[in-house]
Structure 1
Amino acid sequence: MFDPSLNAQVWHFFLSGGIFMSFIAACSFVGVAVCVHRALTLRWNAVIPPELRRGLARCREGFCEGRAAHFYHEMKRSDSPMGEVGRVALSPDFTTRDDATHAAEATAHEQMVQLEKGMGVLEVVITIAPLLGLLGTVSGLVGVFGTLGNETPSSDPSGIAAGIAEALNTTIAGLVVAVIMVIFHSYFSRRLERIAARLEVIAGHLLYEFYKQGGPTLYTAALDSLAAPDAGGMSTDSRDPAPAPRETGTT
């Protein structure tokens, strides 16, 4: 059962921290938002969609002309990290495996940078949350010890002890936020490492199988015509030859 007194205690704990507790709460909200976004972005189905996973399973059997073209179009339609890396790896624009490998590695690095977005925000929250808590505690202690020597009820030793205890609340809150964010940061860091390793292995396998079977020569003429940047929809080789000039010589 829900205890109403617990809600009152939590609210009192928050209010006793003053303005610095509000800053710590804002850090916690930002950290939670980043964690939720990273959890959704780093799902395996978001990095390697199921349709690409099925295509990769078929490609393990080897490439043929139709399969290579179909899978290349699947990669182009996907906006996932695996789709971007696979699109470059299977691109018909490269004639050698080395060129395609360098381009795929650069694309994979770019995708990992995109996946790492938000990790810097977590690091900032981890760093400043305890500092804000410590700053709130110091600020509270300054107010508590400022009453010493005054003939006021607040200078009573029991009142001073209670004030010190409340001043330490911000330190507790800051440390709690930092510890939770450290756990999530460590989890996401390990997951990013696994994603990077997985993308590297898959890209290497694609490049090996693709160029072992002939590379860009696997693509049909239809695929090449779709990729050709011709404005009129026809290649220059398919145009009708110009008629020969008629002879106008005299008889």
Structure 2
Amino acid sequence: MPISALLANTNAAATDGFSRMWHFLAGGGEVMILIVLCSIVSVTIIILKALQLRQHVLFPKRVIDDLNNIERYASRGDILPLQQRLERNPSVAAQLGLVAISGKYETREESTAACETAARGVMHRLEAGVPLLEVIVTVSPLLGLLGAVIGLVTVFSAFGGAETTAADTTQVARGIAEALHSTIAGLLVAIPTVIAHGYFTRRLDAIAVRSESLLRQAIHDFHRHFEVRPNSVVNTPATHK
């Protein structure tokens, strides 16, 4: 098939698809506008969270390897190079790891408490948008139901006027179409959104567990190999027994 013919067929299929979609949306009445807005918000949040919660973005391998090899820096007697590398890295692992090895806390308990506070702030930032998906899951089917009710009102109002039978039939068909279209649209928005919400919720739980494990190990290794002087952030290798 010539390329020109293939492009013509593709354009025709795309035009036909957009036309069908437009007729479907227009047939749902005014409520369809709110459902479309919900779908836009849902898709936007899903894309943003999918990009934000990627494993290699949150926990870069190089940062993890550095935090798992604090002993190597202890053998050199200087933790400052690792601290500087973490400061230049914007990942979650680097931000939390920097708190764990900052040297600002004399005991492991103080370091753990500081890391827990920092981790809660990070998780709160990562969770942004996910609760809104839950709202959309609840609201979009209700909007579909509202559209269905409005469509039924249109159907029943067709039997109470003085119009002709042909006009009544047209109004009944329009009301039924509006009820069905809005119901379908509400479900089409809610179903993928609830799947995405469940996935991101489990993903956030996994991130929290991994962050906790990483921080506990980093705090243990740091205080094992370095001693923290009171009122100072200068660290020296600890004396191993």
Q: Same fold (TM over 0.5)?
A: yes
Tell me, yes or no, if the aligned pair for 2:28 and 2:177 is still in contact at 8 Å. Answer: no
Q: Secondary structure at the match of 1:148?
A: coil
Residue in 2 aligned with 1:155? 168
The match for 2:222 is: 210
Amino acid at match of 1:189: T
Q: Does 1:93 align with 2:104?
A: yes
Q: Indicate yes or no: 2:122 matched with 1:119.
A: no
Q: Distance in 1 between matches of 2:119 and 2:195?
A: 26
Deviates more, 1:47-56 or 1:171-180: 47-56
* Structure 1 residue 165 displacement after superposition: 3.4
| Partner in structure 1 of residue 41 of structure 2 | 30
Q: Which runs of 5+ in 1 are unaligned?
A: 226-251
Q: Which residue of 2 aligns with 1:248?
A: none
Q: Tell me how far 1:81 sits from its aligned partner.
A: 1.7
Counterpart pick for 1:53 among 41, 59, 64: 64
TM-score by length of 2: 0.82
Equivalence for 1:177 = 189
The match for 2:199 is 187
**Residues 1:144 and 2:159 aligned together:** no
- Aligned-residue Cα RMSD (Å) equals 2.4
Q: Distance in 1 between matches of 2:90 and 2:228?
A: 22
CA contact (8 A) 1:63 1:209 kept: no
* Cα gap change, 1:60 to 1:193, in 2 (>3 Å): farther
Q: 1:91 to 1:5 in 2, by over 3 A?
A: closer
Give the counterpart of 1:11 among 22, 39, 47: 22
Q: Which moved more, 1:158-167 or 1:176-185?
A: 158-167
Give aligned-pair identity as a percent. Answer: 37
- Measured in 2, the distance between the counterparts of 1:74 and 1:62 equals 12
- Counterpart Cα distance in 1 of 2:16 and 2:87: 58
Residue 58 of structure 1 and its aligned partner are, at CA, apart by: 3.1
State the AA in 2 paired with 1:154: A
1:67, CA displacement in angstroms? 5.3
Q: Which amino acid aligns with 1:181?
A: T
Q: Retained in 2: the 8 A contact 1:75–1:87?
A: yes
Q: What do the CA deviations read for 1:38-78 (whole angstroms, capped 9, x no partner)?
A: 11111122212343133134336673354522112222222
Cα distance in 1, alignment partners of residues 106 and 18 from structure 2: 67
CA distance in 1, matches of 2:119, 2:75: 25
Structure 2 gap segments, 5+ residues each: 1-8, 236-241
- 1:70-108 superposed Cα distances (whole Å, 9 cap, x missing partner): 112222222222122111111121111111111011111
Query: What residue is the counterpart of 1:135 in the other structure?
Result: 146
User: What is the CA-CA distance between 1:192 and the residue it aligns to?
Assistant: 0.6
State the distance in 1 between where 2:130 and 2:150 align: 30
d(CA) in 1 for partners of 2:206, 2:78: 28
Q: In the alignment, what sits opposite 2:75?
A: 64
Counterpart-to-counterpart distance in 2, 1:205 and 1:136: 55
Q: Which residue is equivalent to 2:5?
A: none
Distance 1:216 1:64 in 2: 16
